[in-house]
Structure 1
Amino acid sequence: MSREPTKPRSGSEVSPASGKPGAVPEIKPSAAEEIAAFVARARAMSPHAPGAKGRLVFALDATMSRQPTWDMACALQADMFREAAAIGSLDIRLVYYRGLNECRASNWISDTGHLARLMSGIACQGGNTQIGKVLAEARREAVASGVRAVVFVGDAMEEPIDDLCARAGELSLLKVPVFMFQEGHDDVAEHAFREIARLTGGAWSRFDPGAAAQLRELLRAAAAYAAGGRGALLRLSRPGSGAAQLLGQMK
């Protein structure tokens, strides 16, 4: 049996802001103040605490056209762990999308054998890109447990670019750079990938289809950054190297 709501006592008005009779209504902050407060809170969430374990979101397009590169990434992922081990330590969270509406994320993985077994059990399936979901997952994890960098490997973009840029902006506030590694020469993908990288303070780079050596260098450089920050990437850099390509674009 429901009760009727209690009526307020007569003779005084109650302010919702304070619950006290006759209180002055609370003055709401301006939109600019709210934005400034949000930015301050977001920056305070930065995962780059000294001595913290490096965490890298490793995201892959697993649609049908990506099968050769998926197999290549399976073979090269151990190089990321080896590069990071020379600097500190690294946990990797695998994120991939495929099919019509499937986007999945693994737990944090610190063992190269475990990641290799997981990746080898995944088959590519036809479907559209879901890069927005990848960026949203990276943001969620950055707030929950800290992420130092995101690596994305793909060859296409089939989503509203403004939506992707909005999600990239959220990662920028959290100081999480996104390294966009593009296979091939699709102009639409390049435009979007470059913009995501620019907004997050990351970097874009292209590698040729089937070019394992190029992708290896890029993945090693990104892992070095995730494990040791900009200084580690600088130490790895040499003229023409993958690390030099990334450093040349990062803010």
Structure 2
Amino acid sequence: MAKTDDKRTSALTQKGETAPSESSDIAAFLDKVQNTPPQTDRGGRLIFALDATMSRQPTWDTACQLQAEMFQEAASIGGLKIKLVYFRGFGECKASRWFETGRDLAGVMGRITCQGGHTQIRKVLAAALSAAEKEKIAAVVYVGDCMEEDVDTLCDKAGQLGLLGVPMFLFQEGRDAVAERAFREIARLTNGAYCPFDAGAARQLAELLKAVAVYASGGRKALAAFERKGGQGARLLLEQLRDC
């Protein structure tokens, strides 16, 4: 699966900087997360969906570590439960039980290896719909790099998820144009948000993931408190990006 090669963005990333267009996307994403109405009655249930096809192998180990940090940050607030959904290989798509600790989830993720195959985002949306029909879900997070399915089918399921009041936050690795259009539309239909990230910007992705996890765990108040933290807080990251 080919990824868009943005030489300028890669060069900036190597220097520890962020491309202007990417800065704008991330700032807009964080603003959208903060302004999304909090689902305080949803018990902090978050579905975390991952593309585990072969094209994502180079960054898979790093992603596992970052995702563990996300869950640990949310665990400090309390009440967050996470269901892992991932697809890979030929028609394989699995959904886990609900995890209540970052350690347990990290252990499972550490045993997953990427396998070649096409995207199965339709199955991810179906799994999210199935879960949302049984219990209240605060949000769905999806991390992937491309889209090889019928976009209208995906949008139909995304619309159903939106009707159930479940926002979907999509993170795109790279700049595949087809995937970007699809992910942006899915975010719109679910009242969620979309944000691209570069494979070399690990800390950037970590902050974005933790911000969503904090939102799912405690709503807007918890996210605002998280952003007010110094150091690695999402608010500080947002200010730095706006200054770029």
TM-score bracket, normalised by the shorter chain, equals 0.7 to 0.9
Does the Cα contact within 8 Å between 2:79 and 2:217 map onto a contact in 1?
yes
Does the Cα contact within 8 Å between 2:75 and 2:102 map onto a contact in 1?
no
Equivalent pairs counted in the alignment come to: 197
SS of residue in 1 equivalent to 2:175: coil
Q: Which residue does 1:183 correspond to in 2?
A: 173
1:234 aligns with 2:227: no
Separation in 1, partners of 2:191, 2:201: 26
Q: CA deviation at 1:148?
A: 0.6
* Matching of residues 125-144 of structure 1 within 5 Å: 125-144=115-134
What are structure 2's unaligned runs of at least 5 residues? Answer: 1-37, 228-234
Higher percent of residues as helix:
2
Separation in 2, partners of 1:232, 1:177: 17
Does the Cα contact within 8 Å between 1:61 and 1:98 map onto a contact in 2?
yes
Q: Which residue does 1:154 correspond to in 2?
A: 144
Separation in 1, partners of 2:236, 2:180: 23
Q: Which residue does 1:165 correspond to in 2?
A: 155
Deviations 1:10-36 (A, max 9, x none): xxxxxxxxxxxxxxxxxxxxxxxxxxx
Q: Which residue does 1:109 correspond to in 2?
A: 99
Deviations 1:99-124 (A, max 9, x none): 12000011001122211111111110
Q: 1:81 aligns with which of 71, 76, 87?
A: 71
1:193 aligns with 2:183: yes
SS of residue in 1 equivalent to 2:70: helix
SS of residue in 2 equivalent to 1:58: strand
Separation in 2, partners of 1:68, 1:102: 20
The one-letter amino acid paired with 2:216 is A
SS of residue in 2 equivalent to 1:125: coil
Q: CA deviation at 1:73?
A: 1.9
1:64 aligns with 2:62: no
The one-letter amino acid paired with 2:238 is S
Separation in 1, partners of 2:186, 2:120: 14
Moved more, 208-217 or 78-87: 78-87
Separation in 1, partners of 2:187, 2:207: 18
* Matching of residues 194-209 of structure 1 within 5 Å: 194-209=184-199
Does the Cα contact within 8 Å between 2:68 and 2:102 map onto a contact in 1?
yes
Separation in 2, partners of 1:57, 1:187: 25
Superposition RMSD in Å? 2.0
Q: 1:92 aligns with which of 76, 82, 90?
A: 82
What are structure 1's unaligned runs of at least 5 residues? Answer: 1-46, 246-251
Does the Cα contact within 8 Å between 2:75 and 2:101 map onto a contact in 1?
no
SS of residue in 1 equivalent to 2:222: helix
Separation in 2, partners of 1:103, 1:221: 26
1:218 aligns with 2:208: yes
Q: Which residue does 2:114 correspond to in 1?
A: 124
Deviations 1:94-149 (A, max 9, x none): 10000120000110011222111111111100000000110110011011122110
Separation in 1, partners of 2:88, 2:165: 28
- Between 1 and 2, higher relative CO (CA 8 Å, sep ≥ 6) is seen in 2
Deviations 1:34-60 (A, max 9, x none): xxxxxxxxxxxxx9453x531111100
The structure number with the bigger radius of gyration is 1
- Identical-pair percentage: 60
Separation in 2, partners of 1:92, 1:239: 26
Separation in 2, partners of 1:230, 1:172: 19
SS of residue in 1 equivalent to 2:82: strand
Does the Cα contact within 8 Å between 1:99 and 1:125 map onto a contact in 2?
yes
